[in-house]
Structure 1
Amino acid sequence: MDINICKSSNNQGAKWTKDGLTRQHAYCTFNLTEKMNKGAWRMTINTNIPTENIKLWVMKVVEHSADGKTYQLKSKYEYWPQTIDVQFRLTYEKGDVPLDGSCSSNVEPIEEIAILSSTNIIERHEWEKDGKKYMNGKCVLPIAERLDDFYIAITLDQDTSGIKVGTTFSEDSNGRWYILKNKWTTHPPELQFNFIITFDSDTMPNGNCAILTGGNPEPPSTQSPPPAPTIPSTETTTANMVVVNSYQDNGKMKMQATCDLPIDMPLESFYILLFFTEDTSDLEIWVGKEEQADPDGRWYLVKNNHNANLPSISFPFHVRYSGSQEPSGICKLYSEDLEPIILKPTTPTTSTEPQTTTTLPSTTTQQRSSPITITTRPPTRPTTATQPPTVITTRPPTSTTTTTQQQTSQQTTASTTPAAATTTTTPEATTTKQSVATKYDYPKVLELSILFYEAQRSGKLPSNNRIPFRGDSALGDKGFSGEDLTGGWYDAGDGVKFNLPMASATTILSWGLSQWQDAYEAAGQLELMYDSIKWPLDYLQKCWIESKNLYYCQVADGNKDHAFWGRPEDMTYTRDAFAVSTSKPGSDVAGETVSAFASASIAFAIKDPAYSAELLSKAKTLYTFAKTYRGKYSDSVPEANPFYTSYSGYEDELCLSAAMLYKATKEQKYLNDAEGFATTNAGWAFSWDEKIVACQLLIFQETGDLKYKTPVINFMKDFMSGSVKNTNCGLAFRLKWGSNRYAANAAFIALMAADTPGFSQAEEYKTWAMSQIHYMLGDNNYKMSYQIGYGNNYPRKPHHRASSCPDMPAPCNNAQQYSPSDNPQILYGALVGGPDENDFYEDKRDDYIKNEVAVDYNAGFQSAAAGLLHFAIEETLPQAPPSKC
């Protein structure tokens, strides 16, 4: 078989030249069908040009020719049956002839089979005949070119008893997989085929299909993978990688992740071995040194450079990846010295997404270090009746708020709340009575979302607290000199107060309120909304110690907090405060807080002029601090990592803060600053970290300068029909972590642009924004609401400590975290993270990617709902787009 040369374009460091000598990584792939004892596996490498030496890991050199064109090898370790890449590095004199060669062995080389495309089974339908159960299924597989000779592999998540479709090439005795051979030539752009599965279980099978080309495919293996090669060391523990965030760096995707490896004794010398399920590159680490790496980035071996102390080793890292989703993986800790090794990693099983995985050992594509896995996600598809249009009536709310938990009727007001008891509210002054028909109940969305923010409150709660399972908490939060830091919002399902996402959410909510106050008036929520945003604003003001040029940006260590599962009222761990200063700058977190103060000063200008002036004064002095002492807060405050690392830098926050100050003051110096910090590139997203599109839109609103309008248009093009993938059911899918959040924030930008004179596509922006918010409310494949409490079909198990706890005095601990039961408390109004790129979602508490909630998740969603209600009131809201599912 030919040598596979690792290409530099795909493998960082696959080839390099030093001191006139070229070093080239290469590999040959073999299929071990039986156990091979140490030394029993023999191999020969022949090259077309002389080489100086060879470096190997799996094999060792027995003899070689004088010119280095032939190497005789034998295995260093014992190996079990598996598919394995024999990787090596050849050193040779730089010349005009490219390196080439071949491998031969006493074991069978693997014939490579390519998976051209794969997709989930769709349009599943169950029926019975003559006492047997049948399921209709369909697969639509994209193809780029004509296919004359190929196979189709259908992989299922349960036993079946037969398939009806054309000719079956081979099948599993238990009906877990079927391989089909094509009869006809297929042409682009896609291959569609239908089939019928016979099954016996209570639930329909689910799975996926893949197009295979080249060779004769072997059946998928559903057996446990064979043991890995013998390793001359002591493995002490294994941990799943936890993905913290993903971001774009120089046009390529990177992910931030961490492994937490528990230890029972201090370690002076150890290794950590990282395995990934997909190709990666450019590993960045801070707690060790990379000793070895797979050319494809499927694994890395890291040697420690610091001692490890009890109770665990925290191992954060960043790594590049090329797919649309972050690779999963595992970390293994070894407590003794390792010889250089190359392992054949099996696909790690992670706890972040439950899934059924079957492995195709012989269907690997070129330059792969582990088997291709076909993943099937069998969703439970709850359905509800189609929701009727909602008629929104604007009228003065009653002074008493009545509890309801059902779907609202067509004639609604938003003065009803789903709290557990009757609650007295302050009547609001509305004068006109006006009805508009909308597909979904936007006032209810606003009402519920405000309730969620009340559930996130920290500190001493007011006497009119409407959340029955919440009480006073974190009353001891203090600064370095005893400053009062109580109040604010807990970030997500935890007990940390992270000021960057908190301030970002406050900015978006305040901006939405000042732009679309009529929506909150119509919903009967205006006073409650003012009260809602005042809670974080009061806390954020406490954090700015102007006399010391000190800004507290975080309360509580995320690592300590996340080790605790229980009520905020029961927290006993030490809650440290963290700050930025003149010597430890944090322009991003300080700048975002300026934006919150400035936008809220506009919102409160008529409601409470004194409070508005107080906020604006704080905004000005904090802006001076943020602009003068520049730096990323996550560089100054390590405890912010890896939770809210500032990847986009601080210029975008300074841009938005200056633009918002100009909007509030009309002082030219702030506009000059904003334009100085602005760029004319389209933003990648709008989130707690990326603010540039908001700054561009705000500058255009205030000045009409077209150079800031263009990047907003391009941002919307990307989300509506460009680089941002859309799921089959229509959600703009930027990233899997909080997928609803990214789509909702983009919808907010779309509506803000639509409400700004000068955008010719205003109607398209409204329609698109409606499609995103409607997806989250029910226009999805599950016909469910991703906002808890809206309608009757919504998530019941959010990743949220407080709502997972039973009523006091019952204990609350890790048993609640992993309980299969619904949360005892309904977390009304929270928007859960959302589905993956295939519209798959599972209501599972320990899935913090899809099912956690956060203050920044709700902000764009709530403000977008306010924008839609505003246009409905103005009678300029287009007809609701049809659901795609």
Structure 2
Amino acid sequence: MIFSSRSCQTPAMSKLALSLAAVLLAACTTACVSHVSAPPPTGFVRVDQVGYRADEAKHAFLMGTSGDTTFHVVDESGRKVFAGVAGPRTGDWNEEFATVRALDFSALTTPGSYRILATGAAPSPVFRVGSGAELFGTQVAANVRFFQAQRDGANVLPSTVNRKPSHLNDATATVYAVPRYDESGGELLDERLTPVGGPVDVAGGWFDAGDFLKFTHTAAYSTALLLLAQRDAPVAGPGLAAETRHGMAWLDKMWDDKTGTLYSQVGIGAGNENVRTDHDVWRLPEADEAPGADPMLARRPVFRAADPGKPISPNLAGKVAAAFALTAQTTTGDAARRALDKAAKMYELADREPDALVTAYPHAFYPEASWQDDLEFAATELALAGKALGDPRTDGWVRDAGHWATAYLSSDTRGTLGVGDVSALAHADLVKLLDGGGTAVETTRDRLTGDLARQLDDGRTRADRDPFRAGADYLEFDAVPHTFGLATTALLHQQTTKNDTYAAFGTQQRNWALGANAWGSSFVIGAGSVYPRCPEHQVTNLTGQQLTGAAVNGPNGANRFAELNRFPTMRPCVAGDFARFDGHGARFLDDVGAWQSVEPADDFTATALLTFALASR
């Protein structure tokens, strides 16, 4: 199926487009009569297509025109409501667009729908100005719909991308020995998988990305972020609460409290000629258990993070314990205490001296180096839950949180917010804990907020060199989730310090992810008017349904697109003319086979959801 690259329009957008057409027609006098066409636009305006809060800085970018370029913001009737002049050149992009300039319209605070008209440029997409709740509450709800589409097992929602129950055999799955891979992680070295236990019930949960694998690592991260949004954001609603329950129900199955066993994965994505894997077939998930299906797809393997009762990789133990502790904070009574006890037991089993970290099998699917941040996150959430429930272990967890924060701050693996580094979440909640009367070293609070600033300064240094002020590296994987991570961290810094030092930078990062970038595309499906139409996602490709709310990887290094995924059963789908906007060594391709740029993922979308939830306040 080939989707049209033409943007979808809402009624408000259509009204504005007609009004603009009337304005342009009225302006076309002698030139129109003599049939002399105006020259085609040579520039483009890039805006945040979701919009801007009335009280925040508002910037767009003009690419491809130079000189003293004027611009106007017009409302739905085509009336000019703001006029300005393009700012200084922020850099060049490619041969066609040698000039990029910023447009500042921060003074526009009146709620409404608008476009930007600039000399020599095509009109911008429609964007809105409004309150945080108005702009981002709908985005949170859309992100929740993505997680609903990702559901596995019996509890699917048929109204969401025509889903049907899938992988019911996961309820009686066999446990296998940890698979061995070559150094690159691309080939399974075991001739066959070796069964070591089971059956276990690991049915349900969420598919990890565009495929049908399920990872405890990404599920715990995603569920924790959804729980933080549920706990802290005014736009959290019953849909979000229901989805966090769905995620936690599966994590509860992946943790065997009686034996102290954490299962890390369901399914396998890299095999060999003897072991067929999830990544070898393009199909609907319910086909895996249809008559004649491959045995390794019909009866999917389960792998442990460690042997029963043995120390668990601390990044995994920390993330899962934090999710259970957050559940204890968002529930009451016996359910809260049971969740807290499970979190505490898992936290105690975390390996304090790991030789290697477990994320997925192979590790190359989700490389991760840091782990002290995960234990800081777990101890902090345990302490917050314990304080609320009057648990006598609380003071010990507070001390542990301070210890692991200090260990992280002294490590050489410090990063920024994403599935591989949760320090920003841990720091912000630890500050909240200390402000509430917790005991720790006096300088801990300043060091925690200082590290939030360090993460933002790293991003801002990169953004200062980029024409579109991107703070993430778009030549590497996960540019979009890292961008949302920076936006979230800016909001957390403002929350913990009560100052807005990084507020404009954080807004810029959200703007970039939602359309104020070279390609003029939002990287969240359904957000704005130009967004990915051909994600690498098997269900939506084969059903023709839109995967609303999904965040994709976004641009990537052009050299990474040498090989796209192609399957006989894949419906061809290519959208948009983005090649002319590639630059600075980066490429964005909206092609169903381009996993490098348009594959959605749970951790991507969870990070975007938390950004929107915090921005709604």
TM range (shorter): 0.5 to 0.7
Distance 2:535 2:262 in 1: 32
Letter in 2 for 1:640: P
Distance 1:653 1:725 in 2: 30
Q: Which residue of 2 aligns with 1:663?
A: 384
* Structure 1 residue 724 displacement after superposition: 6.1
Distance 1:625 1:639 in 2: 21
Distance across 2 between alignment mates of 1:673 and 1:541: 24
Choose which of 497, 505, 513 in structure 1 pairs with 2:230.
Answer: 513
Whole-Å Cα distance in 1 between the matches of residues 465 and 327 of structure 2? 34
Contact 1:501/1:856 (8 A) holds in 2: yes
Normalized per residue, the structure richer in strand is 1
Aligned to 1:274: none
**Which residue of structure 2 aligns with residue 474 of structure 1?**
167
Q: Residues 791 and 628 of structure 1: is their aligned pair in 2 closer, same or farther, counting only changes over 3 Å?
A: closer
What SS does structure 1 have at the residue aligned with 2:262? strand
Secondary structure class of the residue paired with 1:491: coil
Give the direction of change, closer, same or farther, for the CA distance of 1:137–1:513 in structure 2 (3 Å limit): closer
| Alpha-carbon shift at residue 627 of structure 1 (Å) | 4.8
The DSSP-based 3-state class of the residue aligned with 2:420 is coil
Tell me the SS of whatever aligns to 2:480.
helix
- Residue 418 of structure 2 aligns with which residue? 687
Instruction: Give how far 1:449 is off.
Output: 0.6
Match of 2:600 in 1: 853
Q: CA deviation at 1:474?
A: 1.2
Report the AA paired with residue 558 of structure 1. G
**Once the two structures are superposed, what CA deviation does each residue of 1:141-166 show, in whole Å capped at 9, x if it has no partner?**
xxxxxxxxxxxxxxxxxxxxxxxxxx
Q: Please give the per-residue CA displacement for 1:777-819, whole angstroms capped at 9, x wherever unaligned.
A: 233344432211223322111011111113xxxxxxxxxxxxx
User: 1:579 — aligned with what?
Assistant: 304
Q: Which residue of 1 aligns with 2:259?
A: 548
> Counterpart of 2:362 in structure 1: which amino acid?
A
Within the candidate set 126, 131, 140, 1:387 is matched to 126
Shift of 1:442: 1.1
CA contact (8 A) 1:460 1:475 kept: yes
Per the alignment, residue 515 of structure 2 pairs with: 778
Q: CA shift at 1:208, angstroms?
A: 9.0
Residue in structure 2 matched with residue 699 of structure 1 by the alignment: 430
Segments of 5+ residues of structure 2 without an aligned counterpart are 1-34, 45-88, 99-120, 176-196, 271-276, 388-393, 436-444, 557-582
| Whole-Å separation in 1 of the counterparts to 2:254 and 2:246 | 13
Superposition RMSD on alpha carbons, in Å? 3.4
Question: Which residue of structure 2 lines up, in the alignment, with residue 645 of structure 1?
Answer: 367
Q: Displacement, 1:858? A: 0.9
Q: 2:456 aligns with which of 712, 716, 719?
A: 716
Letter aligned with residue 453 of structure 2: I
**Cα distance, 1:386 vs structure 2:** 3.4
What are the equivalent positions in structure 2 for 1:254-265 lying under 5 Å apart? none
**Equivalents in 1 of 2:160, 2:198: separation in Å?**
33
Q: 1:501 to 1:638 in 2, by over 3 A?
A: closer
CA contact (8 A) 2:214 2:267 kept: yes
Is the CA contact 1:511–1:603 (under 8 Å) kept in the aligned structure 2? no
Distance 1:745 1:383, change over 3 A: farther
Question: What's the CA shift for 1:677?
Answer: 1.8
In the aligned structure 2, how far is the partner of 1:540 from the partner of 1:483? 13
> How do 1:788-803 residues align onto structure 2 when only pairs under 5 Å count?
788-803=525-540
Whole-angstrom CA distance in 1 between matches of 2:92 and 2:325: 57
Q: How far is the alpha carbon of 1:866 from its aligned partner?
A: 1.1
CA displacement at 1:689 relative to structure 2: 1.4
| Residue 373 (structure 2) pairs with residue 626 (structure 1) | no
Determine the C-alpha separation between the residues in 2 that align with 1:543 and 1:831. Answer: 26
CA distance in 2, matches of 1:694, 1:789: 27
Change over 3 Å in CA distance of 1:550–1:783 after alignment to 2? same
Distance 1:632 1:662, change over 3 A: farther
Could you say which residue in structure 1 is the equivalent of 2:247? Answer: 536
Matched to 1:528, the amino acid is G
Q: Name the CA distance, whole Å, in 2 between partners of 1:835 and 1:206.
A: 18
What residue number does 1:313 align with? none
Shift of 1:623: 1.1
| Alpha carbons of structure 1 residues 598 and 631: separation in structure 2 relative to 1, 3 Å | farther
Give 1:639's aligned amino acid: Y
Conserved? CA contact 1:787–1:832, under 8 Å? yes
Question: Counterpart in 2 of 1:617?
Answer: 341
User: What are the superposed Cα offsets for residues 416-449 of structure 1, whole Å, 9 maximum, x if unpaired?
Assistant: xxxxxxxxxxxxxxxxxxxx478x8212211111
Which amino acid letter does the alignment assign opposite residue 450 of structure 1?
Answer: V
Structure possessing the higher relative contact order (Cα contacts under 8 Å, 6 or more residues apart)? 2
Greater CA drift, 494-503 or 707-716? 707-716
Question: Per the alignment, in what secondary structure is the counterpart of residue 742 of structure 1?
Answer: helix
Q: Is the 8 A contact 2:550 2:600 kept in 1?
A: yes
1:175 match: none
Q: Aligned AA for 1:732?
A: G
What letter matches 1:739 in structure 2?
A
Match of 1:834 among 536, 549, 554: 554
Contact 1:833/1:853 (<8 A) preserved = yes
Residue 631 of structure 1: how far off its partner (Å): 5.4
Indicate if the aligned counterparts of 1:833 and 1:850 stay in contact, CA closer than 8 A. Answer: yes
Code of the aligned partner of 1:855: D
Higher helix residue share: 2
Give the whole-Å Cα distance in 1 for the aligned partners of 2:593 and 2:602: 19
Q: In the aligned structure 1, how far is the partner of 2:518 from the partner of 2:90?
A: 22
Correspondence 1:560-579 to 2 at 5 A: 560-571=277-288, 572=293, 573=297, 574-579=299-304
Letter aligned with residue 850 of structure 1: S
SS of the residue 2:596 aligns to:
coil
Residue by residue over 1:571-624, the C-alpha shift from the partner in whole angstroms, topping out at 9 and shown as x without a partner, is 24241101123457322212110111112321334xxx4433332221111111
Q: How many residues align?
A: 431
Q: Is contact 1:585–1:631 with CA below 8 Å preserved after alignment?
A: no
2:92 and 2:267 map into 1 onto residues whose CA distance is 55
Q: Of the candidates 804, 819, 823, which is equivalent to residue 541 of structure 2? A: 804
Q: Give the secondary-structure state (helix, strand or coil) at the position aligned to 2:534.
A: coil
Residue 750 of structure 1 is matched in structure 2 by 490
Q: Which runs of 5+ in 1 are unaligned?
A: 1-128, 139-189, 195-204, 210-381, 392-435, 521-525, 807-823, 871-885
Matched residue, 1:596: 323
Cα distance change, pair 693–441 in 1 and its aligned pair in 2 (3 A): closer
Percentage of identical aligned residues: 21
1:862 aligns with 2:601: no
**Displacement after TM superposition at 1:711 (Å):** 1.4
Cα distance 1:550–1:628, how it changes in 2: closer, same or farther (>3 A)? farther
CA contact (8 A) 2:140 2:235 kept: no
Tell me if the contact between 1:683 and 1:693 (Cα under 8 Å) persists in the aligned partners. Answer: no
**Residue 135 of structure 1: CA displacement?**
9.8
Cα pair 1:455 1:827 within 8 Å, conserved: yes
Query: For residues 618-676 of structure 1, what are the alpha-carbon distances to aligned partners after superposition, in whole Å with 9 as ceiling and x for unaligned?
Result: 11111112257855443xx882322123322x322112111111121130111211222
Q: Which has the larger radius of gyration?
A: 1
Summarize the alignment of residues 36-435 of structure 1 with structure 2, pairs less than 5 Å apart: 385-391=124-130
Partner AA of 1:501 in structure 2:
T
Describe the SS at the equivalent of 2:429. helix
Aligned AA (1:604): T
Task: Tell me how far apart the structure 2 counterparts of residues 724 and 599 of structure 1 sit (CA, whole Å).
Answer: 33
Name the CA distance, whole Å, in 1 between partners of 2:90 and 2:125.
Answer: 32
**Are residues 863 and 642 of structure 1, via their aligned partners in 2, closer, same or farther at CA, if it must alter by over 3 Å?**
same
1:660–1:548 distance in 2 versus 1, CA, 3 Å: same
